[in-house]
Chains A and B, each alone.
Chain A
Amino acid sequence: MDHHGHPRRLATLTYVTEVVRRSLTGWGRTAPTVAGVAEATSVDDVVDAVRSAPERGVIGRGLGRSYGDAAQNAGGVVMELAGLDSVHRIDPDAATVDVAAGVSLDALIRRLLPFGLWIPVLPGTRQVTVGGAIAADVHGKNHHVDGSFGAHVRRLDLVTADGSVRICTPDGPEADLFWATVGGMGLTGVVVRAELRLQRVESAYFAVDTERAGDLDDLMARLDRDDAGYPYSVAWFDSVTTGSRLGRAVITRGRSARADELPAKQRRDPLRFDAGAIATVPPGVPGGLLNRASARAFNEVWFRKAPEHRQGEIQDITTFFHPLDVVSAWNRAYGPHGFCQYQFVVPYGAEEALRTAVRRIARSGHVSCLNVLKRFGPGNDAPLSFPTAGWTLAVDIPARPGLDRLFDHLDELVLDAGGRVYLAKDSRLSAAAFARMYPRLAEFCAVRRAVDPDGVFRSDLARRLDL
């Protein structure tokens, strides 16, 4: 019998679920590799796959939103987990939910809102699974107030290398394994179930203040001054314009709207949420659509279209959190060679490194349209968790010759400032730079060695970073 009381299938040497050879990439569509892909629809499927893992190991994959090679395993097995999508129990009184790890945040929001419950941490897309959100320890616009995803996980069930299911809590007997799994990029095991602490909301809308900043210093000053007054805060900055307007930006900050703040129409059904994708980018978009000229135009328009100052605007979830979710497969817009996202954090006090980074990006000739700057709050106990107190910056750049040199320069800058790069976005960091960016790496490796001595859980990212 397994832990849910179901009779267990005999462990076999062949897969119960079908394994199909497939080429996989991350969301950035770079560096494809081929693995045997198996779809799990039950915890038993996961256990079977782990027990019969081939020499090159196995890794879990949710909705494939990591930008790089985190959910790829060349020559091994990749276990797709989005089919593990039951919502086991919603507890409106305690404000918690118990879910299978393949549930997407999009689906979960829709289930929770009728109860006035809200997922405390939402990344830049709703199309990620709960398991993936834990493995990458994702953060959102409210990090400076609420921390990252792992801070809101009360319990997780982890299928480990020996095929057992371990119950891990943040401060129980498996606390070390819990925190190694948070931000552990799937390398401690497969998260199959989790219990999350939730927040209460009155509506599915947000009261948003928008303002413009004329340059980078103005931007940082504004964020420094007022961020504490908002649970949600983020800035989009112009990454193309140089000179005196370098780093000019649009700041959007807000909070969950009370029902009595909504316009009459929304007030009738304040928890209603029915966003869907309204467009898609077709496959086969040629490269070069995003060039210096089009990116300059985009950056100009994005800055100009924002109001100089507007307060208390009521926005829905998609407008405020996930404008890109409106266009499915938007990653195809970058053309056949794909793109890289570079996101780093440098501690407060290293503002000069941030200025230098923005200047280098703007002058590099490489173009980015999705440019985000935000202040992080303190980090958590997870040794590989990305967020730490400081400034975080993210840019999306099409993969072109010479980009490796720009990123290598930025790595040095970030390292010298005592910062780090976000693994969920990374696709090209070197093992040496990674080890220097994450000083608690040895702790993570010790936990992983103990729970997976033979290296059953492996990924392309792990091979690249010598993990």
Chain B
Amino acid sequence: MVIDALGMPQSLMLFGGTSDIAVAVAREYASRRPLRVVIAARPSSLRDGTAAALEAAGCTVEALDFEATRPETHQALVEQAAAGGDIDVSIVAQGLLGDPEQAWTDSAAAIQLAQVNYVSAVSCGVALGAQVRRQGHGVIVAMSSVAGERARRSNFVYGSTKAGLDAFYSGLGMALREYGGRVLVVRPGFVRSKMTEGLPTPPMSTTPEAVADAIVEGIASGSEQIWVPKSMHAVMSGVRHLPKPIFRRLPF
């Protein structure tokens, strides 16, 4: 298995495999080519439903048990997935949003966010990096967030985990270059998905399908980082340089 000249893979491994964005990417690829999908997620009816839906879309699906808070199991998980063939594209999409006020006042909540969003992303990245080196090719997609670009008062614990993930995967992309690997860091704005259900929708929000389209395009064109929507890139370039007294007063 291998990614073809126009960026079409033959196999996907999805961490946090029930994520709306990851599943939308799988659907997009499956509409073009036969696709093997490994769903790494907790056993649940949601996982079963996702597997069934992707099978209905023509994918060959394998579901593996993935526990984000047990990083010591992640290496074996990747090896188990790779036993069935090369992993052309992997998507690191596990993540929690958490309650932002609890997250900075309750130590257990803060640690859980850090473990799921950052520590497990790091352990998955190390395991995937080893697989890329073995197979001599492969694209790793890491789900970062604009929240990681500058910590905001409203969700800075979540933002800090994404900042860590973003830095780790940006570096991993440089390290894997000589081994034929590529890393695509994805920085969406607010995505209307399961994760954000019930939250008020801010301006410039996007959808899982739009993020998936951007990921597919980013992989085909060899991008290393993308913002969704694209205009978020310019906005964040501005936001990053706002003086703090002004930034603090912004209404988000």
A contact set with B: CB distance below 8 Å: 21, 23, 28, 30-35, 56, 68-69, 73-76, 336-338, 340, 399, 401, 403-405, 407-408, 427-428, 430-432, 460, 463-464
Nearest Cβ on chain B to A234's Cβ, whole angstroms: 25
Nearest Cβ on chain B to A20's Cβ, whole angstroms: 11
Question: Considering only CB atoms, which chain B residue lies closest to A339 in the complex?
Answer: B5
Which of A28, A33, A403 contacts B137, CB < 8 Å?
Answer: A33
Decide if B168 is an interface residue (CB 8 Å cutoff): no
Decide if B32 is an interface residue (CB 8 Å cutoff): yes
Residue from B4, B8, B86 whose CB has the most chain A CB atoms within 10 Å: B4
Nearest Cβ on chain B to A61's Cβ, whole angstroms: 14
Q: Are B3 and A430 in touch, CB under 8 angstroms? A: no
Which of B32, B34, B136 contacts A74, CB < 8 Å?
Answer: B136
Residues of A contacting B178 in the complex (Cβ-Cβ under 8 angstroms): 21, 23, 34
Residues A75 and B135 in contact in the complex (CB < 8 Å), given A401-B217, A408-B32 = yes
Question: Considering only CB atoms, which chain A residue lies closest to B7 in the complex?
Answer: A404
Residues of B contacting A30 in the complex (Cβ-Cβ under 8 angstroms): 5-6
For the complex, give the distance between the alpha carbons of A236 and B128 in Å.
47
Q: Are A401 and B34 in touch, CB under 8 angstroms? A: no
Nearest Cβ on chain B to A274's Cβ, whole angstroms: 36
Residues of A contacting B34 in the complex (Cβ-Cβ under 8 angstroms): 430-432
Residues of A contacting B135 in the complex (Cβ-Cβ under 8 angstroms): 56, 74-75
Question: Considering only CB atoms, which chain A residue lies closest to B180 in the complex?
Answer: A34
Question: Considering only CB atoms, which chain B residue lies closest to A36 in the complex?
Answer: B136
Q: Are B2 and A464 in touch, CB under 8 angstroms? A: yes
Decide if B105 is an interface residue (CB 8 Å cutoff): no
Decide if B179 is an interface residue (CB 8 Å cutoff): yes
Nearest Cβ on chain A to B217's Cβ, whole angstroms: 6
Total CB contacts across the A-B interface at under 8 A: 82
Decide if B172 is an interface residue (CB 8 Å cutoff): no
Residues A463 and B1 in contact in the complex (CB < 8 Å), given A23-B180, A404-B8 = yes
**21 cross-chain CB contacts under 8 A:** A21-B178, A21-B179, A31-B2, A31-B3, A33-B137, A33-B180, A56-B135, A56-B136, A69-B4, A75-B180, A76-B136, A336-B222, A337-B221, A401-B220, A404-B8, A405-B32, A428-B5, A432-B34, A460-B2, A460-B137, A464-B10
For the complex, give the distance between the alpha carbons of A337 and B179 in Å.
19
Q: Are A33 and B32 in touch, CB under 8 angstroms? A: no
Q: Are B5 and A74 in touch, CB under 8 angstroms? A: no
Residues of B contacting A404 in the complex (Cβ-Cβ under 8 angstroms): 6-8, 32, 220
Nearest Cβ on chain A to B75's Cβ, whole angstroms: 18
For the complex, give the distance between the alpha carbons of A340 and B137 in Å.
20
Residues of B contacting A401 in the complex (Cβ-Cβ under 8 angstroms): 217, 220-221
Residues A31 and B221 in contact in the complex (CB < 8 Å), given A74-B137, A408-B32 = no
B contact set with A: CB distance below 8 Å: 1-8, 10, 32-34, 86, 134-137, 178-180, 217, 220-222
For the complex, give the distance between the alpha carbons of A31 and B179 in Å.
13
For the complex, give the distance between the alpha carbons of A427 and B7 in Å.
10
For the complex, give the distance between the alpha carbons of A223 and B131 in Å.
53
Nearest Cβ on chain B to A312's Cβ, whole angstroms: 42
Q: Which 8 A-B pairs have the closest CB atoms?
A: A34-B180, A75-B136, A74-B136, A427-B5, A30-B5, A33-B137, A404-B6, A428-B4
Which of A31, A35, A336, A464 contacts B1, CB < 8 Å?
Answer: A464
For the complex, give the distance between the alpha carbons of A404 and B5 in Å.
9
Residue from A31, A75, A432 whose CB has the most chain B CB atoms within 10 Å: A75
Residues of B contacting A31 in the complex (Cβ-Cβ under 8 angstroms): 2-5
Residues of B contacting A407 in the complex (Cβ-Cβ under 8 angstroms): 6
Residue from B7, B8, B32, B137 whose CB has the most chain A CB atoms within 10 Å: B137
Nearest Cβ on chain A to B246's Cβ, whole angstroms: 38
Q: Are A430 and B136 in touch, CB under 8 angstroms? A: no
Question: Considering only CB atoms, which chain B residue lies closest to A461 in the complex?
Answer: B2
Residue from A33, A35, A76, A407 whose CB has the most chain B CB atoms within 10 Å: A33
Q: Are A399 and B134 in touch, CB under 8 angstroms? A: no
Question: Considering only CB atoms, which chain A residue lies closest to B134 in the complex?
Answer: A75
Which of A28, A35, A405, A432 contacts B136, CB < 8 Å?
Answer: A35
Residues of B contacting A21 in the complex (Cβ-Cβ under 8 angstroms): 178-179
Q: Are B217 and A69 in touch, CB under 8 angstroms? A: no
Nearest Cβ on chain A to B67's Cβ, whole angstroms: 29
For the complex, give the distance between the alpha carbons of A68 and B6 in Å.
11
For the complex, give the distance between the alpha carbons of A428 and B221 in Å.
15
Q: Are B6 and A428 in touch, CB under 8 angstroms? A: yes
Question: Considering only CB atoms, which chain B residue lies closest to A75 in the complex?
Answer: B136
For the complex, give the distance between the alpha carbons of A431 and B1 in Å.
10
Question: Considering only CB atoms, which chain B residue lies closest to A429 in the complex?
Answer: B4
Residues of A contacting B3 in the complex (Cβ-Cβ under 8 angstroms): 31
For the complex, give the distance between the alpha carbons of A354 and B180 in Å.
38
Q: Are B6 and A464 in touch, CB under 8 angstroms? A: no
Nearest Cβ on chain B to A365's Cβ, whole angstroms: 15
Residues of A contacting B6 in the complex (Cβ-Cβ under 8 angstroms): 30, 340, 399, 403-404, 407, 427-428
Residues A32 and B32 in contact in the complex (CB < 8 Å), given A74-B136, A463-B1, A463-B2 = no
For the complex, give the distance between the alpha carbons of A401 and B10 in Å.
18
